Structure formats: C-alpha cells, structure tokens
Amino acid sequence: MSHSPLLDRNRAPTDTEQRFNIALKQATDFVASLEPTLTIVFYPDHVNGFFYNLLPAFCIGVEGYSIGDYGTVAGKLDIPEALAMSCVSSVLAQGVDAALSYRMNVDHGAVQPVELLSNGRDISRLIPVFINCAAAPRPTFARVHALGSAVGAWARSCPERVLIVASGGLSHDPPVPALATATPEVRAHLIDGGALEHAQRMARQIRAHQLGYQLGAGTSGLLPLNPEWDRKMLDAFAAGDLAQLDEIADEDITATGGRGAHEIRSWFAALAALGPDYRADVLFYEAINEWITGMGILTARAA
C-alpha cells in the first residue's frame, strides 16, 4: 500500500478520505482474517536511516528502531532476532546479497502501514526489509524480484503465519535532495547521516505539509501526480505481470512518476515474494495531491 507522511495532517477532500478509510478498513479486515504471527515489511527509506557513508541496495533488520517521524510511534521494534537472522542467511544462500543490521533506524516508510494495518490485529512483530529507492544508484528491478522471491521462499519455510506488507508510494515527486545537486551542508548529511535536530525535522515536516496544498493548487513546482502511470502499475500487479519494468531506466521513472515513484520497488518485491499465480485485488486508488502521492491499496494471496 502507499504511505504518506501527510496522511494525518493534510486534509484531502472529504469524500476521498471516506473512500480511502473504507478501503483501509477492508485491508485491515483482510489482514486480521489471516491471523499472522509475523510481518515482513518491504520499505523505502527517506534519508533517515540509510546514508551514503554505507548504502546497501538491500538490508534486513535484525534489530531496529522506529525514529517516530510524522506521528509514528518511536522506539525499539519487536524484531525476533533468530528469525530475522534465519531470513538473512536464507536470502544470502539463495544468491541475493542483502546486508543485515543490528542498528536499523526505520522511518514512517515502514512504520506507518504497520500501524494502520494493526487496527484489526497487532502486526508489529516484524522483520523490516529495506530497499534503496531514494538514493541513486538503485538496485535493478530484476534484483528486486530476486530479493522478493528469496524472502518469499524463506517465509514459506518459516513455522510462522507470515504476512508480507509492501510500503511505497506510486507516482509522487517529494523534495528529496540528490547528492549531485546538494548544497555542501545537505551533501554532508546525505553522506554522514545522523539524526536531525528538532528544529531541522520540524522545518522538513512543515515544508512537506505546505507542498501538499501547493501541489493541489498547482503552485508547488513538483511534478504532478500521474494517475495513468499509477493505473498501469496497479493493472500489472493485479495481472501478475512483474517483468514489465525490468528494462526501464531509472531516469524514465523519475520523469514519468517523479522522484518518489522509485518506491514502486517495494510493491514488486512483496508480490514476487508470493510467487507466480498469486491473486490480487485493488481496493483503492486515487491521486491525492494533499498527500503528495498516488494512494493505492492492494491485497493479494499466494496461489
């Protein structure tokens, strides 16, 4: 499902929010009906937990912490260490070079959907799987498929009832800095990382809130949302077609869907984890300017 840091702050049109909330309730009911005992969440970072000082394409959290941005709950995550390490070992044995972390800092990209989907059943016992979507160069879609398939193979061998969650926006163009064009101060943060000061985080969040309304008014300068591209992606997911982006250039995704559209990798990994012939239903899609993203919710079951 899509996430948005503006979900609880910027007001979308009332009827849009009502339709979204109805679909979210359907998704939480679906999750609760599965009675999962473990959640794997594929997610992108927003330059909060991963930086250019050491930037893996993929990383599996063995121990981690929620930083608590945009209203999400901060604190140590409930990650079962032995299971997470087993997942890492299995993925590596299957030929996918994923890093591991005992100090994974996780932002709203992973935590928000877990919190939203826990309304019917607590799914916070989890293993976070980071996919680098924000900082170029990014992993290819073929390798994302391989990661998802490897995690899925491990999940099928796991004695737990495993729920797989994908968290990532569809088309959206948030003001994410790029190393090549960053100011010296921003460049230093992109490389060295570290927690933002309170005032810095407030300024970042206030700017995002303002951009949401400016996007709707056509005054933001951000690339407009692209419902046509979003629908194409969702149709591909529903049809089980996960190969169509294998050869696409990252520059084309940026130009078509925006800088945030690279988060589509999370959806691909999760669906690849289900294996071929899964069955999927799109519960919701609308381009919501106030939330700066195409918001989609899709449920799927393995065949």
Which residues are catalytically annotated? 108, 172
Query: Phi and psi dihedrals of 223, rounded to 5?
Result: -65, 130
Tokens 């969650």 label which residue? 165
Tokens 């799914």 label which residue? 123
Query: Phi and psi dihedrals of 200, rounded to 5?
Result: -65, -45
Instruction: Give long-range contacts, CB 8 A cutoff, 24+ apart: 24-29.
Output: 24/116, 24/284, 24/297, 25/119, 26/283, 26/297, 26/299, 27/1, 27/117, 27/283, 27/297, 27/299, 28/116, 28/117, 28/118, 28/119, 28/120, 28/121, 29/120
Q: Give me the helices (H) in the chain, please.
A: 14-34, 81-93, 108-117, 141-157, 184-192, 198-217, 227-239, 250-257, 264-273
User: With left for phi above 0 and alpha for psi between -120 and 50, is residue 194 left, alpha or beta?
Assistant: left
Whether omega before 44 lies within 30 degrees of 0, making that bond cis, reads no
